[in-house]
C-alpha cells in the first residue's frame, strides 16, 4: 500500500479516485449484443452462453431450471456446521429486517380529508447470485430474506452453473431454507437479459437485485432502459478504515484484506492521524497477505489502495464523507461520537471489535450496499427495496367543502380549468343536497 502524508484538500480528489470505474465501450456493446441475442433466441441463447462461459452442457444436465430432486439433495452435500451457521445468520437477518415492516397510518390533513400510504410488495423480483470462484450464498440470504418478508409473490433466482451442470449445493441449501424454488442456471449479462425480458424458462421480473462483475453491472444498467428497476448501481467492493493510535494494526490489516480479497478491482483506504499506525498496519498487511488462499487477488487490489496520514479525526471523517465508502470502519477510541457526523456511507462498523466481515455474513444488517460513491445518494438494500408505497385518500362531504375551494383557487391560477371543474361540480352537487 502507498502511504501518503498530509495531502492538501485539493489533492484529496485524486486520492479518492476508484480504479477502472468507467464501463469500457466494448463491454457495453457486448452486453447490448447479449441482450438482443437472448431476446431473439431465448432459452437457446442461454444454453449456448452456459456452454461458452461456464463450460456447462445444460442440455445434458436437465435444462436451465433446477429440478426439485436437485434442490432436495443439496442439504446432504452441505456440512452440518455450515448449515447451523447459515440458519443463525438467517435468523439474525430476519430479525433486523422484520423491524423495518412499515405501519399503515391514516392522517387527517383537514377535517374530512383522510390520507394514508400502503406498502405493497414488488410483484416479480429477480435475484442474481454470482457463482464463480466465490459462490455468494450470503448474498442470497441478504436478498431472499427481505424479498420473502415483503411478500413478493414471484421470486426468480439466477446463478451460474458449475461445469457439471449443477448449482453449488450451498446456494441451493440456502434457497431451500428461504423457500425459493424458481432457480435458473444462468449467469452473467445473459441472466440479467433473461430476467428483464423473460424466456420460456425464465420469468420476466419487475426489479433485479444482486452484485456481479462489470458485465453484470452494465447489464443491470441496460435493463433499466427496458422498464426494469434495479436495486442500485453496484461496482467493486470497497472499505475505508479510520484508525487512531488506539487501533490494533493486526485487526486493521485483516479488515483491509477481507475487502481486498473480494476481487482485483476492490479498493481499500486507510486513514490515520498516526504515522506509526500506518506503518505497522502496512507491515501487517504484507505479513497476513502471504497466508491467504486468494493472495494474488488481494495483492492486485492493494495496488490501487492507499494509506493516508491526516491531521485530526475530523479531517479523516471529512475525507470519508467525500469518498462515500461502501463500508466504513471507525477503529477509534470514541467511535459513537465520530459516527454522529457520518453523512455518506453504505454501512458503518464501530469500534475495535466490530469487523466489516460480521456485516457481510451474520450481524443482521444487509451487505448489499452502494459502491463507487453512490452512498452519497443511495441506501443499501432493505425491506423497503422490495416494497412500493401507494398513497390513498378519501374525502367526506365536510372534507370536500374544506379542501375544495383551495384546489379551485390553485387550479385556476395554473390555468387548469378541468381540474377546478372536477371540484366545482361536486361542490355544486353537495349544495343541491347530494352527499355521494
Task: Give the burial class of 418: count Cβ atoms within 10 A of its Cβ; 0-12 exposed, 13-18 middle, 19 or more buried.
Answer: exposed
- Do 209 and 157 contact (CB within 8 A), yes or no? no
259 annotated binding-site participant: yes
Q: Which of 70, 238, 304, 326 is catalytic?
A: 326
Nearest to 344, CA basis, from 380, 373, 314: 373
Asked about 367 being catalytic, the answer comes back as no
262 annotated binding-site participant: yes
Here the cell at position 32 is: 447490448
Give the C-alpha separation, 197 to 85, whole Å. 36
Q: Which residues contact 353 (CB under 8 A, 6 or more apart)?
A: none
Q: Which residues contact 426 (CB under 8 A, 6 or more apart)?
A: 400, 404
Asked about 327 being catalytic, the answer comes back as yes
Give the C-alpha separation, 35 to 197, whole Å. 9
402 annotated binding-site participant: no
327 annotated binding-site participant: yes
238 annotated binding-site participant: no
419 annotated binding-site participant: yes
315 annotated binding-site participant: no
414 annotated binding-site participant: yes
Q: Which of 327, 336, 367, 428 is catalytic?
A: 327
Angle at 221 between CA 220 and CA 227, to 5 degrees: 85
291 annotated binding-site participant: no
Nearest to 124, CA basis, from 91, 159, 153, 81: 153
**Which residue ranges are tagged as binding site for NAD(+)?**
128, 190, 213
Which parts are annotated binding residues for substrate?
Answer: 237, 259, 262, 327, 360, 414, 419
The binding site for Zn(2+) consists of 259, 262, 360, 419
Could you give the residue numbers annotated as active site?
Answer: 326-327
Point out the annotated binding site.
Answer: 128, 190, 213, 237, 259, 262, 327, 360, 414, 419
Amino acid at each position: 500500500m502507498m502511504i501518503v502524508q498530509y495531502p492538501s484538500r485539493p489533492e484529496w480528489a485524486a486520492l479518492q479516485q476508484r480504479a477502472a470505474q468507467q464501463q469500457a465501450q466494448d463491454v457495453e456493446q457486448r452486453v447490448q449484443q447479449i441482450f438482443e441475442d437472448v431476446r431473439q433466441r431465448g432459452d437457446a441463447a442461454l444454453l449456448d452462453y452456459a456452454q461458452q462461459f461456464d463450460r456447462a452442457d445444460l442440455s445434458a444436465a436437465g435444462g436451465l431450471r433446477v429440478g426439485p430432486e436437485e434442490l432436495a439433495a443439496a442439504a446432504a452435500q452441505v456440512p452440518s456446521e455450515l448449515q447451523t451457521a447459515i440458519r443463525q445468520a438467517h435468523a439474525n437477518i430476519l430479525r433486523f429486517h422484520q423491524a423495518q415492516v412499515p405501519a399503515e397510518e391514516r392522517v387527517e390533513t383537514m377535517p374530512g380529508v383522510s390520507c394514508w400510504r400502503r406498502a405493497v410488495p414488488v410483484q416479480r423480483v429477480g435475484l442474481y447470485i454470482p457463482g464463480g470462484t466465490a459462490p455468494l450464498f450470503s448474498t442470497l440470504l441478504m436478498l431472499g430474506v427481505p424479498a420473502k418478508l415483503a411478500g413478493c409473490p414471484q421470486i426468480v433466482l439466477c446463478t451460474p452453473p458449475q461445469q457439471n451442470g449443477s448449482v453449488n449445493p450451498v446456494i441451493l441449501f440456502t434457497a431451500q431454507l428461504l423457500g425459493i424454488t424458481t432457480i435458473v442456471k444462468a449467469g452473467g449479462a445473459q441472466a440479467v437479459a433473461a430476467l428483464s425480458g423473460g424466456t420460456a424458462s425464465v420469468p420476466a421480473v419487475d426489479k433485479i437485485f444482486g452484485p456481479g462483475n462489470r458485465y453484470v453491472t452494465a447489464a443491470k444498467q441496460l435493463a433499466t432502459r427496458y422498464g426494469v428497476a434495479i436495486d442500485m448501481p453496484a461496482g467493486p467492493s470497497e472499505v475505508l478504515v479510520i484508525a487512531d493510535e488506539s487501533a490494533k494494526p493486526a485487526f486493521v490489516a485483516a479488515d483491509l484484506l477481507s475487502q481486498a480479497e473480494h476481487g482485483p478491482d476492490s479498493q481499500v483506504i486507510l486513514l490515520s492521524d498516526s504515522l506509526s499506525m500506518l506503518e505497522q498496519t502496512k507491515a501487517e498487511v504484507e505479513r497476513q497477505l502471504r497466508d491467504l488462499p486468494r493472495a494474488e487477488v488481494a495483492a492486485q487490489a492493494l495496488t490501487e489502495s492507499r494509506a493516508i496520514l491526516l491531521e485530526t479525526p475530523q479531517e479523516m471523517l471529512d475525507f470519508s464523507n467525500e469518498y462515500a465508502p461502501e463500508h466504513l470502519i471507525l477503529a477509534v477510541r470514541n467511535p459513537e461520537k465520530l459516527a454522529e457526523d457520518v453523512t455518506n456511507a453504505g454501512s458503518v462498523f464501530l469500534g475495535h471489535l466490530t469487523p466489516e466481515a460480521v456485516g457481510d455474513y451474520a450481524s443482521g444488517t444487509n451487505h448489499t450496499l452502494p459502491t463507487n460513491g453512490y452512498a452519497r445518494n443511495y441506501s443499501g438494500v432493505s425491506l423497503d427495496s422490495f416494497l412500493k408505497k401507494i398513497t390513498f385518500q378519501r374525502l367526506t362531504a365536510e372534507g370536500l367543502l374544506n379542501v375544495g375551494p383551495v384546489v379551485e383557487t390553485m387550479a385556476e391560477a395554473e390555468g387548469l380549468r378541468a381540474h377546478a371543474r372536477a371540484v366545482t361540480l361536486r361542490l355544486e352537487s353537495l349544495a343541491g343536497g347530494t352527499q355521494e
